[in-house]
Each structure stands twice: as C-alpha cells, then as structure tokens.
Structure 1
C-alpha cells in the first residue's frame, strides 16, 4: 500500500513539474484573461517554519535569532529570482517572514517563475474581505468613568489593585488603522513623547499602498490616504480594538491593560486586504523598522499581537493562503510573540465553523465571544478545525464580545459586538501577566497554558464530533472564559529556567493516557525531584517526590476524571511545565 501511495505521489510530482499551471491559483489565471498585469505572490519551496520552542531564554534572544535566520535564508535563496526580476524591470517586494516575493508583472513573467523548480506556488494577491465584521448596530454611547462590563467580568480591574496595569509591556495591532491621537489612546502610544512631540519610527507602519476595497467607488477617496507616515483609521474597527486593549482617560475606563504601550500596522483598506498586506504587517511586527523602511529591529517587537480579522474563503480568501500564513504565525510565535486571533463570526454554521486563517492554526491563540450572562454569542464560530482534517480543538478560550464599548475614530464612543471585540480582552490580559512577572516575556507556550488553565470552565449542550459540550475543553467555549486575576496570580508563581534546563529532554508517556502517566529524563545528570499535577481550575490533584535523582517515575491518575491537566516537574536543573490529556 505504501508503495502505491509513493508511486502516486511521484506521478503527481512529475505532473506538477511538467505542468506549471498546476502551481498557479485559478483565480489569478482568470484575472489575467482581462488584465495584462496582475499582482501575485511567489512562494518558494525552501521555507523555514519554526515548529518547536527554541532553546533560548529571553524574548530578545528568540526574536533576534528568528529574524536573522529568516532574513539570511531569504536573501540566500531568493537571489536568482530577484536578479531576473531586476533585469526585466519588474516591480517586486521580497519577504523573509516567510520565503516569498510579491510581484506585479505580465503573464509571461509569471509563467516563467511558475516553471522554476524552486517555486512552490504562485498565489493570487487580489484583495479580499478580511474584516471580522461586527454583528451589532454601531451606536454612540456616553462617557462613563466606571470600568466597562468586560473588564469587570474578567476581573482585570482587580489586577490593577495589585499594582499591575500592563506597565513595561508593548501590545501590537494590525487592523484598519488607528486614530492615535484620541484621548484614551494618545498617551499609550509608544511613539508619544509629550503634548508637542511624537516619533512614529518603529511604532507605526502602513501596508496599504493603494485602493483595495472593490465595494467602494474609485471616485470616493480613502479618508486616510495611503502610505501613511502616521497612524490613521479608515473604518473605526482598529481604533475600537486598541481601546479595549489599552484605552483609558479621566472619564473612560475601556482598556484591559491601561499601563501598556501600543504600536500598530494598517493591513486593511476599509476592511479589505490582500496576502501581501498581512505579510507586510507581520514582518514589520516581527522586526519594526523606521518610516523609511530601514534598520529593522526585533528588540522593538511587541510582546503580544491582536488580530481581529479573518481570512474567509466565503469572502474571497484563497485556500492557498493557508500554508503561507501558517508559516508566518509559527515564526512570530517562535520569536516570543503571543499571536491572539479572533475565532470568527460564523457560529450560525455550527460545528467546524472555525475554518479560516489565522484562527484555525495550532500556533494561533483563538478566542470565542461571550455575552453579559456568560452565554456563548450566537455568532461566535465553533470548533473543531475540520477543514484541514486535523480535528484540532478550537477555540482556545472565550472572552466578552457582546456590546463592548470603546473609542472609535474622532474620539466617538461606540458599542460593537463580535469576536473582534473578544480577542483584545485576551491580548490585554497577556500584558497584565507579563507586567506582573517580566520573566514571562517571550514564554509563549507558558503564557497560553496559564490562560487556559486559569479560565473559568463553561460547558455547552452542543457536541461537535468527539468534543463533547459537557467536557472541558469543548468546541464552544474552549477552556472557558478568561480570568485575569487568576492568570496573573499563576503568572507570579512562574520561575524561569536556564537555557541549559530548556535543552533537557523530559518525556511524558503515554499522553493522552487512560490511567498511568510516566515521566522520564533522557539525561542521567538530571534527576526528577518532584512532580505536581493540577486540574483546569488550578487545584493540585497529585504531588509526588520520587526522591534523589530519579530518571523515571510513574503516577496513577486513573481515579481522575477525563480532561486536561497541567504538570510541573522540578528537576535537579530547573522546572518543566506542560499538559496531560486524560481520556
């Protein structure tokens, strides 16, 4: 049977090499029938995607390594294609966040590139609707000095009373743009110096260079313009999301982490974007550069990025964007950046409606939306991820996303509903966690584990495949509604390990398990001293000390109910943390 599959694979491979049209998006071929010149993305075969946590200690180390590795690889492998394009005076932009080149050319040049053996795909760079559209009428609301309901619901204001407001943390956003000068956001902008001075270098980038929204007449100019050297919002959406993350002034308490700073990139033109626009923003967020596009600096990257947008096939997003964007999200996470993503507003389609990038990716931290009484919002997309046959559990968690009041363009206050409003709550909590314990900066897996393990569990009557609504996690709420206070308290308990410790291999098997779980060290010099296991509420359910320098220890968890558990292993060289699945 394997031999048959191998023969089929080889035959298909030879067919693809013989027929370069098989590499090209059908939609791009259709566009060339009416347009002499088109935009597209050349995705190279030789790409780097960091699938595992790097054995580096700090966010600065991780970001610098990822940036240098990706950039060097792209420069080395793109040389020949770049040379061809320069010789033909073809307009192009080279990327390194994934190994790709955006090109604008005639059909003959595009076909020449498709025929190359080092080219994986030619992806259509046509605009599509990216905005995770809100599902409520936008109504102005009056100012109110009391914390918004979503802030109080997740106990973020209780965290403030402990002295943690997000200070020392940078939140990144990519959206429809941002009105940086509105009162709740102005002083939170990293480029703000004082009432008369501002520096947009490394703090703002505009990836919108021309009109992209086909629903708007060419005679109606973009209210912000293009290639902006200062933040501007052409839609309200971006400003509203940033307000939920950091916004606050004397009369409005709308942001989860009002002590944090923010930087941002515009990746949509009035709600429409293209693959190259989100690639530009992700690349800038990985290593921000100045207003002239020079001197990228990964040490200026944000700690967490909010993505309140969605690449839906129904709205024109091409399925070929999936591998393109998945590599990018993996690389941002490897660089120590938490990638928070709205789950989407297609809950009406029921189970499996989380099916668009970037929400469907394992590396994305996907967020569903709840209402005032903790019910899941009807529009909130459900898991699991079935489009790629992974049946991956999504969403990760849930946050308030109905009737969320925040600031919009020109300082007007509005209430929106959508998973777009839920994601910013989670990004804000990440900022609170890192401000409480700066050692968490860059520790993406640990931050995500804490958010999941401290979430308030909620069940549902809706079963989706093998993800039963009555179990935790489930395909409706994920692990539950986030709890900022519990997450920060757990964050304060985090003790970093050394680079050497991170390289120590501790194996846990079987995982998933039905009864026994065994922990073993591959290094004879590193012994297991203590193993603690917690349930999803953070309650200690098992605690054993093998004693001495044990290299192997087994624990019986047959008496525990099925679900997700979290372990913490103290070794002679440091502490390890992770998950156990009991089935």
Structure 2
C-alpha cells in the first residue's frame, strides 16, 4: 500500500484508490502480426483476457460490500472508493500487487508570448526542423497518417484544424464516433462533440497538423487527427488518462460502445506528465501502445534546469521524450533534464522547438506559448512525415527511433552524457528533413 494511501485513510477514513493486480498480459507476439487491425486486436484481447481472469476476486469483494468498481484492462487495475478496512483486505489478497491513490496531475504550465501575425512563411519551429523543406523536396506532408493527442481537447471547428479532423466527412458534416473521446463528459453529458475548455490541446494539435492558408503552424498538415480528453481542464485525472489510453488502443463510438482497434492512431502525442519521474503507473499503457505499433511521443517536463528533473511518463524507456529549445537554438531553462530514474537512461531522447511557439488556440485565434508541451508535437509531426513518406516504417517504432536519433543535430549539454547524447538535449536538435531523407534511403 502506497504511503499516500495510508495518509489519506488516516486523515479521512476512506480513499479513492487503484487496486493493481500482479498479472500482466504477454504482448510479445504482437509485432509479428503485419495486419494493422489484427495486431491491434491481439493487444486489446490479451489485455482484456488477463484482466478478466484476474480481477474477479477484487471486483466480487467490492460488490459484496456495496462499493462501485471501475475496472481497467490496460493496467489490470480496479478503481474504487473504499474505507480503511476494505482497503486493508484488498491489500492482503495474494493477486494484488499494489494499492495506489487516484491522483490528478496539472496540465503543464505554459508561458504565454505574443499571438503574432500570420506571414507567408511557416512558423519558426517548422523552418527550424526543416519540415517545410520536406514538403517541398519530398512532396510529403503527412498524408495517410492519423495522429492523436491526449490533452485538454481540441476546438475541432478551428480554421487550421477542421479539414484535418478525421471526423469531418466529405460533405463538410461531422461524425465524431471513433474520433473523439471525453471520459469525464466535460464537453456535455453525454459528450457529443469535441471541445477544449483550456486551449492547451488545441495548441498541441495545431503544431502537429494545423494549417490555414497563411497560418502554416503544423509539421504534417496533410495528416488526420483524433483526440481523447484526458485532461478535464487545468488538470488530468488518472481516471481520464487511463480511459483515454484504452480508447487510443481501440477507439469507440462517443458513447464508449463498439470498439474498433483498426481505427487507432499511428502516433499519440502526450504533452502532460507528473514531476515525479519515477512514477511507473502509466508504463503498462505505453508498453501496450508500443506493442500495437503506436508511436508514444511525450514531453519531458518543465521542471528544469536542474539535473534529474525529467517527469513521467516521458522518463520511461518506452516513451520518446522531447526537451525544448528556442529560436536561437538555446535550450530552454525550464526544459527538464535527465537522467531518468528508470535505469539512469538518457532523457530527453531529443529536443525540438518549444519557446514562443505560435499555434491554434481554443477561441479560433492563434497564440504563442512556451513549454516542452510545445516541443513534443514537433516530434510527433515529424514521425508522421517519416511514416507518410515510407509506409514500410509504419508501426516499426524500433526502426523509427534510431532514424530520429541519428539525424538529430548534436548539441553539448550538462547533467551527464556526451555531445552526441546527453541529459540536456538527448540526441540533439530535431531535424525532420534529415530524418525523412535517411528513411527514404
């Protein structure tokens, strides 16, 4: 039982907790499956079967005591609010690995700049990573790729985002099934269409795929997007993040029914995290995404410049984490540094533009803000360009990461490592053009 669970029980007599089971699904056979839909269902079915086979005792105990239980299969856990006596009994069960407090994490704070005026050229981050040169020289703008974010939502009617939304049909109408998920029903009860009551999610989506004439804000403007509202407003609850993680693996209708693993995105951007870099609670989710062929992109956190400040889930070995730098190619002071608590591995993996980044905002306008949240979607968009240009690399995460790594511009830093790979910059500054060029052979 985690220490903060004990503290909560002592202070209030009850706690909202996750009962995490020991059993883990074996997903090792997934990468051998070449069919996208079959691979997705393999992962989902293995996870669901493991949860169904091992959660019965916990769920029965809670039901016998008249307590509501919310089961999750992506982490093999059951969420419930229970008193101290019940939690003690649960913790003593042989199939239970851990009792963890349900928490919320704040949406990463961002520093606002000037909104700026649109120009005829792409935004500075697009030019800096040479994504515009990819468009011109390779004719690649992300077509055929679906990206997602787990964030505060998206203003789907924004002029820079509406045509890229997968839920928009050829006649201009919208069908949000399989393209939008709002587990906490913030956008309506039930939630019938995407919304963003913060702005953060609209901004990160814009950096991935946004474009509106002169407003060339997105790295891969021909890609399609879908979204899950894992952050209710200014914070993200564990419940919403896990529910969103499951939906990413097998998107559903907006009412949560009829999941379809074949509708999952190729790439998911996560511009959120906890300052506690050693928190492994979301690791099973990231591992499941990777097993299904989804590229897991994360921000590294805004707790710099101290060493060892990387947040989770960006700190996980399975996550591809991004630091942030400015228009002068100087690392941002706020950009969290490694090493990671997980085996002292180098983090971030790479760095991207994250200071004064202009993108779409939730009131239909554009705003320049700063944070590793802004850097991460530059990387996600670059993966979309690579996978669009070279379809054989799609779902091949182990083959894609070295392309990003080896083409990054080496930049020396502190906190340990080398000029080519260190805990300030990771492998260096993102270079989308070099990455697509290498991928093309």
Equivalences for residues 93-132 of structure 1 within 5 A: 93-129=70-106, 131-132=107-108
8 Å CA contact 1:208–1:227 kept in 2: the answer is no
Aligned-pair CA distance for 1:176 = 1.2
* Selected match of 2:386 from 399, 410, 433: 433
For the 8 Å contact 1:206–1:226, the answer to whether it is kept is no
Structure 1 residues 110-509: aligned runs within 5 Å: 110-129=87-106, 131-134=107-110, 136-161=111-136, 162-194=138-170, 196-208=172-184, 224=187, 228-313=191-276, 322-349=279-306, 351-354=307-310, 356-385=311-340, 387-388=341-342, 390-460=343-413, 462=414, 464-465=415-416, 467-468=417-418, 471-493=419-441
Alignment counterpart, residue 16 of structure 2, candidates 36, 39, 50: 39
Specify whether residues 412 and 402 from structure 1 end up closer, same or farther in structure 2 by C-alpha distance, changes over 3 A only.
same
Q: Deviations over 1:14-70 (max 9, x none)?
A: xxxxxxxxx2x2323333345455321110011236579833334434322111111
1:523-549 CA deviation, whole Å, 9 max, x = no partner? xxxxxxxxxxxxxxxxxxxxxxxxxxx
Contact 2:191 2:254 in 1 (8 A): no
Distance 2:287 2:357 in 1: 30
Query: Once structures 1 and 2 are overlaid, which stretch shifts more, 423-432 or 471-480?
Result: 471-480
Aligned equivalents of 2:242 and 2:249: distance in 1?
11
CA RMSD of aligned residues (A): 2.0
Pick closer, same or farther for the CA change 1:40–1:299 going to 2, 3 Å: same
C-alpha change, 1:119 and 1:487, in structure 2 (3 Å) is: same
1:378 shift after superposition? 1.4
Shift of 1:102: 1.1
Is this contact kept in 1: 2:267–2:384, CA < 8 A?
Answer: yes
Q: Is the 8 A contact 1:58 1:441 kept in 2?
A: no
Moved more, 289-298 or 406-415: 289-298
* Cα deviation 1:279-304 (Å, max 9, x = unaligned): 11111101111122122211111111
Mapped contact 1:41–1:124 kept (Cα < 8 A): yes
Deviates more, 1:403-412 or 1:291-300: 291-300
Distance in 2, matches of 1:66 and 1:305, equals 17
Change (3 A) 1:182 1:139: same
Tell me which residue corresponds to 1:74: 51
Structure 2 residue 66 is matched with structure 1 residue 89 = yes
Structure 1: how far apart are the matches of 2:357 and 2:189? 29
Take 2:37 and 2:135, find their aligned partners in 1: how far apart are those partners?
Answer: 27
Bigger shift: residues 46-55 or 361-370: 46-55
Aligned partners of 1:416 and 1:33: how far apart in 2? 41
- When normalised by structure 2's length, the TM-score is 0.94
Q: Deviations over 1:497-538 (max 9, x none)?
A: xxxxxxxxxxxxxxxxxxxxxxxxxxxxxxxxxxxxxxxxxx
Give the Cα separation in 1 of the matches to 2:299 and 2:353. Answer: 12
Distance of aligned partners of 1:94 and 1:55 in 2 relative to their CA distance in 1, 3 Å threshold? same
How high is the TM-score relative to the length of structure 1? Answer: 0.72
Query: Which structure's residues are more often strand, by fraction?
Result: 1
SS in 1 for 2:15: strand
- Residue correspondence of structure 1 range 564-583 to structure 2 within 5 A: none
Return the offset for 1:369: 0.8
Q: Which secondary structure does the structure 2 equivalent of 1:102 belong to?
A: strand
1:342–1:366 Cα contact (<8 Å) kept: yes
Cα distance, 1:103 vs structure 2: 1.2
State the SS of the aligned residue for 2:228: strand
Q: How much does 1:226 deviate?
A: 6.2
Question: Which secondary structure does the structure 2 equivalent of 1:250 belong to?
Answer: coil
Deviation at 1:434, TM superposition (A): 0.9
Contact 1:59/1:443 (8 A) holds in 2: no
For residues 116 and 100 of structure 1, do their structure 2 counterparts lie closer, same or farther at Cα, with a shift above 3 Å needed?
Answer: same
Deviation per residue, 1:318-373 (Å, 9 max, x gap): x6xx2321122111111101101111111222x2221x210111000011111112
* 1:438-457 per-position Cα deviation (integer Å, ceiling 9, x unaligned): 11111011111111111122
Is the contact made by 2:30 and 2:43 (CA closer than 8 Å) also made in structure 1?
no
The answer for the alignment partner of 1:535 in structure 2 is none
Bigger RCO (CA 8 Å, 6+ sep): 2
In 2, Cα distance between equivalents of 1:266 and 1:108:
34
Contact 1:49 1:331 in 2 (8 A): no
Equivalent in the alignment of 1:11: none
Separation (CA, whole Å) in 2 of partners of 1:28 and 1:225: 32
Report the CA distance between 1:196 and its aligned residue.
4.8
Structure 1: how far apart are the matches of 2:196 and 2:152?
6
* Distance (Å, rounded) in 2 between the aligned partners of 1:434 and 1:226: 37
